[in-house]
Amino acid sequence: MTRSVRRDQVFRLFDTEMLELVEALSAESAARGFRLCLVGGPVRDLVLGRPVGDVDLLLEAPGQSREIAAELARSCLPEAVKVVGYGRFGTARLELGAMKLDVALARTERYRSAGALPTVEAATLEEDLFRRDFSANALAMDLSSDAGGTRMPLIDPTGGLKDIAERRLRILHDQSFHDDPTRALRAARIGARLGFGLDRGSRARLRRALSEDVLAPVSGDRIRREFEKVFSDPTQGLDPVLALRHMDRWGLLKAVDPGLTLPSDAVLPLRRFGKAVSDPPWSSKRLRSWVVGLSIWLADVPAGVRQRSLRRLAVRGEATEQVTGFPRFRSQKLSALGKARGRGAVDGLLAGISEENLHALHAAADPAVRKKVSRWAAEDRSEKIPVTGSDLLKLGLEGAALGQVLARLRAGFLDGELMNREEGLALAHELLRRRSSRASRAQKARTRPKADR
């Protein structure tokens, strides 16, 4: 296993302007006797040759105050860079236009009780690495050192490289899952993404932690955030089913709710949705992937378990309605879409549904319906027809009648029955004429004496 990474690979993580800032920060850190490091996920991914996700930096400045990262950045970076110091963890956020980079202070964390947030103190790099979740995530590279020529040495005080070579996640001390029980959920997610198992000792510690009910005091928001990542991480190659299977096998789903499982009917749709997240079949604005994931997954668990799980995960507002309503919505829409003939009919069934419901429906559908849904989402829904609501208002239509005529015209254009504005307006006139004669017939029927009827 490599013990160093090519310098140019590391620098390629930053675009040109950001690299200049990182170099200035590194030089200033070295001049003050500090170290500026790349740590955690990005180093692990560089070692594995995988695409690197978010990049944060770590400043080692033991004994310094919490403001040191922000102060150091302000002292050496151009004024155009906005430096915001924030948080209990002494993090400085650098902003240059749309670019952002977080520089955290190396720290130790002490947990007063299981699941509580820790108290924090500036510490050495090694101490910071030892407080982390898994050895594979406890690697660092010193950007402020010029030792090593074209390669940058890896700092590996916990044996992370060996664990990466043997493809396992290993916790760094016996209390790790007690200190931060969300690490159990992370293990399932990161293990599934990297194809790593949980080493035997860590498995035993996890079983013990779960037997002591360590997830019970953890807030719903913190647990839900881990599930949110399960359904957005497919962009980094995660199969959500693998992560949920680990959680099921390790007893984590039961710890969320005793009745919670991964139903076999949810497996294929979840996998399909995972693919849609990493390779979108159409472009979606503001898609909350986790709402889609929960909708698909929980549609096949008993309604009571679904309700309790949503409460436990502190899912609120519109998201709760979407997940709760999905089983019914799914059976109605799938059967109607199966029967729908023509693009106009599909448009009538799908117009106005939320992006989350659309994706969940697509994942749950058979191939023929899937094709209808994706063609509508990618093409037809953004199609503008050459007759508008105000055209119909001018003809004297209004309210529900206007909506119905507009929907009929839209279906006509999508099905190729109407070709241009003139044809659209002609049909609108015809529909209006039919409406008026229906209305006058009805009126006549009402005014005719009873005996004649």
Contacting positions for ligand CTP (CB under 6 A):
40-41, 53-54, 132-133, 137, 180, 182-183, 186
Minimum separation from the CB atom of position 48 to ligand CTP (A) = 11
The answer to whether residues 223 and 313 touch, using CB atoms and an 8 Å cutoff, is: yes
Rounded CA-CA distance 173/181 in Å is 13
Minimum separation from the CB atom of position 166 to ligand CTP (A) = 18
Identify the bridge partners of residue 91 per DSSP, sorted by sequence position: 86
For ligand CTP, which is the closer residue by CB, 163 or 180?
A: 180
DSSP class of 134? B
DSSP class of 366? -
Which residue carries 């089983």 as its tokens? 327
Rounded CA-CA distance 347/332 in Å is 15
For ligand CTP, which is the closer residue by CB, 186 or 254?
A: 186
For ligand CTP, which is the closer residue by CB, 133 or 356?
A: 133
For ligand CTP, which is the closer residue by CB, 17 or 54?
A: 54
Minimum separation from the CB atom of position 133 to ligand CTP (A) = 4
For ligand CTP, which is the closer residue by CB, 43 or 298?
A: 43
Q: Which residues fall within 8 angstroms of residue 37, CB to CB, at 6 or more apart?
A: 57, 58, 59, 60, 106, 125, 140, 141, 142, 143, 144, 155
For ligand CTP, which is the closer residue by CB, 180 or 356?
A: 180
For ligand CTP, which is the closer residue by CB, 236 or 324?
A: 236
Minimum separation from the CB atom of position 303 to ligand CTP (A) = 32
For ligand CTP, which is the closer residue by CB, 186 or 421?
A: 186
Strand bridging mode 197-198 / 168-169: parallel
Residue from 76, 101, 79, 77 nearest 91 by CA: 101
Minimum separation from the CB atom of position 385 to ligand CTP (A) = 44
Nearest residue to ligand CTP, by Cβ distance, number only: 41
DSSP letter string over 135-188? GGG--EEETT--TTTTEEEEE-TT-HHHHHHTTEE-BSSTTHHHH-THHHHHHH
Rounded CA-CA distance 314/223 in Å is 9
Minimum separation from the CB atom of position 205 to ligand CTP (A) = 15
Residue from 300, 359, 354, 345 nearest 322 by CA: 354
For ligand CTP, which is the closer residue by CB, 232 or 322?
A: 232
AA identity, residue 432: L
Rounded CA-CA distance 387/428 in Å is 9
AA identity, residue 339: K
DSSP class of 379? T
DSSP, collapsed to helix, strand or coil, labels residue 419 as coil
Which residue carries 């005014």 as its tokens? 447
Minimum separation from the CB atom of position 424 to ligand CTP (A) = 51
Minimum separation from the CB atom of position 297 to ligand CTP (A) = 20
Minimum separation from the CB atom of position 213 to ligand CTP (A) = 19
